[in-house]
Structures are given as C-alpha cells and as structure tokens.
Amino acid sequence: MNRKIKLMCSCFLALTVSACNITSSNDLRATGDMGVVIERATGQVQIINHTSKSTLAQIDGLGDLSHASIVYSRDQRFAYVFGRDGGLTKIDILKDKIDKRIMQSGNSIGGAISQDGKLVAVSNYTPGGVKVFNSQTLELVADIKATPLLGHAKNKDGSIKRSKVVGLVDAPDQRFVFSLFDSDEIWIADFSTPKLKLTKFTDIGRAPYDALISPDGRYYIAGLFGEDGMALVDLWHPKKGVKHILENYGKGDKKLPVYKMPHLEGWAMAGDLAFVPAVGQHKVLVINTKTWFQEGEINVHGQPVFVMAQPDNRQVWVNFAFPRNNTIQVIDTQSQSLINTLKPGKGVLHMEFTPRGEHVWMSVRDENLIQIYDTKQQQLLKQIPATSPSGIFFTSRAHQIGL
C-alpha cells in the first residue's frame, strides 16, 4: 500500500512539474528579435517582434516624443527613451511597462549608453550640456555644462550662455563624444577612471548639427550646417585634433531650402565607402573612408534624410525630407546607381533593418502605418497600424557602437 501511494505521489509530482514547465515556457519571451516603435503624436511606444511581424504591447505616458530616440541595456531588456521634453524613461520590454521615468532637463535631443552599460548620457538643448545617469537607478552621476571655451555669449542675468549639445554618441573605453552647436566645439568625456576627464576641441567648423561614430568606434564625424564640409576626430589619435573633410562639396551649387536636417547616424558605411546625405542638395555623396575624399555623387529624388545600408552592404536605402517624403530609393553600392524607387506613402520618417537584413521596417507617419518590406524583392510584406510612427529601434542595437 505504501509503495502504491508513493508511486501515485511521484506520478502526481512529475505531472505537476511538467505542467508548471509548460506554463513557464509559454510565459517566457526572448528579447533578441524585439524592438520599440515611437508613436510621436500620442507619447506612446509599441513593443514589437520582428520575427512574427507583430505588436506585443503599447505603453503610454512618455511625454513629448517628437524627436525621440532609444538605446538598450546590454541584456536587451530595458529601453531608454529620450524625449524632446527632457524626459528620460526606462522601459521594461519584458513586463511591458515603465520601470522608471525622470525629467532631467527642459529640452533634450538624444542620448547614448556606455560601453559597459552602466551609464546613460543625455544631450540637452536647455540647459545646454550632457547629463549622465546610473543606468539601473537613473540617479545623476555627472552634469557636464556646455559652457563654451570661446565667444562667451551671456544670458540676461549675466551668466554665460551654454551651447546646445548635438551628436552625442558612445565610444570605446567608456567615453562619450558630442558637439556644441552654438560654439563650434567637440568634446570627449572620458569615464574610464573615477575622475571624469574632458578633452575639448574648438573652432571645429561652423554650427555642427549632428554627428556619427564609425562602426569600429574610431572616427567621430560632425556635420556642419554653417559651412560646407565636416569635422573628423580620430579617436585612436585624439592629439592630432580635428580634421576638416569634404570642405568644398557643393561649392558653387545653388543650395535648396532645408526642411529637415539629414541624420548622420544614418550614414551608410559599406566597405571602404560611405554614402552621405548632402545638405541642401538632391544628392547622396560617395566618400572614400581611407582618404576621406569624395569619389562620386548620386542624384536622388529629394533632399536625403537617412541614407542607410543593409547589413550586407549590398544596397543603400534613402528617405527624403518634406515635401518629397513619400518616397524611398534604393542604391546599389557596387555600381553606385539607383535600382528602385518605392512609394510607401506620405511621411516616411525612419527605417530599420532586421539584424541579418532580410527585411526593412519603415515608419509611414502620415498614413499611420508601419510597413515591412522584403529587401531582396523590395516588395511590401505586411502593414501594422501605428499612430504617427517615427523612430524604429530593434534590440540588436544593444551590441553596436554608437547606437
């Protein structure tokens, strides 16, 4: 009798454990094929899965997302959302909720996460500077005031006017790099030791408006709005200072009105070439990244905003500023020629490739849609409803420098 009871109990226990394991497995969610889409008009985000091509959840209460961007924790669980209103929001994409939210400034324009994932930095317009936070608690670690070294303009109260900060990226060796729009400077903030070290470059060129870091983390390049050309810092050899590249591109050409500034983060780096949006021109420039000289140019549909390479670098996809923002063009990187023109709809704002490049997701703001295209056939696969979607950010960014 005792043996029977024991056997029955063992079977019951095994069935119970098995049932619990099934339940647990069904509840598990991996983060590797997830992402977040900004719904800018309503202060919401969608959590999506790019394998199933589906929406998993929607989270609201994120404030002004009119120029929002996102970085991810190293484990891909948390998304840090940088809102235009100065809000910094930490989202748990496994629990579909806000983990923590703070208001850290009056007007911010993006952010970055450090190499070790322990620091989150935010670039601010008002007041100008960079604030750095503990990524777990969002407690303030450093407040870097963007006080210009040269040309001290003053506020009404007599205090020195700070510069707006743009082009903030993470760099290897626990560094952040950013540009000062109003005072024509580039700064490097080194957090590799307990004491913060700042390296400052002045007179880098007029009005840096955005910047990028090369995929290997070596070159920081700031676009200049106030003059033709760009400013480059070799982060392997920062003592060499700032180098001016593409100084005469567009010289003598009639400039068109600029309705939306190109995003340099969307530069397409393909082998030894970079495909670059030309400010105020209907062109994509082709740059040799060994010499940093222009090799060619490609006439396109409008003023490029994002010029983005597929992960295999075979093709580059380009979207455009208003009023020609209903179009995507595809460039072959070998022939440096246009191979296709797509018409997704009004207000194509952002693109994001799946990690291996088989699909590209597009936000089509004025149609309230996310569109998913096959990159080989360049055909529409699926549409997902979204309210004024803009930025699309997949979790694979967690392991890429500068993203």
Q: What's the predicted TM-score (pTM) here?
A: 0.90
Q: Decide: helix, strand or coil at residue 237.
A: coil
- Of 3.10.580.10, 1.10.40.50, 1.20.210.10, 2.40.10.480, the CATH number of 266-343 is 2.40.10.480
- How many other CB atoms are there within 10 angstroms of residue 261's CB atom? 17
pLDDT tens digit string along 83-113? 999 999 999 999 999 999 999 999 999 999 9
Beta strands in 225-336, from DSSP E residues, in sequence order = 230-234, 242-245, 268-270, 273-277, 283-288, 293-299, 304-309, 315-320, 328-332
Q: Give the mean pLDDT of 342-367.
A: 97
Q: Which pLDDT does position 17 carry in this prediction?
A: 45
Q: Give the mean pLDDT of 318-339.
A: 95
Q: Give the mean pLDDT of 291-301.
A: 93
Q: Give the mean pLDDT of 29-37.
A: 96
**Residue 4 pLDDT greater than 70, yes or no:** no
- How many other CB atoms are there within 10 angstroms of residue 386's CB atom? 26
Of 186, 170, 297, nearest in space to 246 by CA: 297
Question: How do the domains of the chain map onto residue ranges?
Answer: 266-343
C-alpha–C-alpha distance, residues 104 and 229, integer Å = 33
- Most trustworthy range by pLDDT among 125-134, 208-217, 270-279: 125-134
- Mean pLDDT over all residues of the chain? 89
Pick 272 or 169 by higher pLDDT: 169
Which band of pLDDT confidence, cut at 50, 70 and 90, is reported for residue 158?
low
Q: Which pLDDT does position 402 carry in this prediction?
A: 92
**Residue 16 pLDDT greater than 60, yes or no:** no
**Residue 170 pLDDT greater than 80, yes or no:** yes
Tokens 């002004």 — which residue?
Answer: 64
**CA distances, 103 to each of 66, 81, 83, 136, 351 (Å):** 16, 12, 9, 16, 28
- How many other CB atoms are there within 10 angstroms of residue 195's CB atom? 7
Q: Which pLDDT does position 224 carry in this prediction?
A: 86
Q: Which pLDDT does position 277 carry in this prediction?
A: 85
In this structure, are residues 315 and 375 in contact, taking their beta carbons and an 8 Å threshold?
yes
C-alpha–C-alpha distance, residues 260 and 262, integer Å = 6
Q: Which pLDDT does position 260 carry in this prediction?
A: 45
Q: Decide: helix, strand or coil at residue 365.
A: helix
In this structure, are residues 104 and 131 in contact, taking their beta carbons and an 8 Å threshold?
yes
pLDDT tens digit string along 245-268? 887 655 445 554 444 455 676 678
SS3 content of the chain, % helix, strand, coil (to 5): 10, 45, 45
**Residue 157 pLDDT greater than 50, yes or no:** yes
Neighbouring C-alpha atoms within 13 Å toward the C-beta of 120: 28
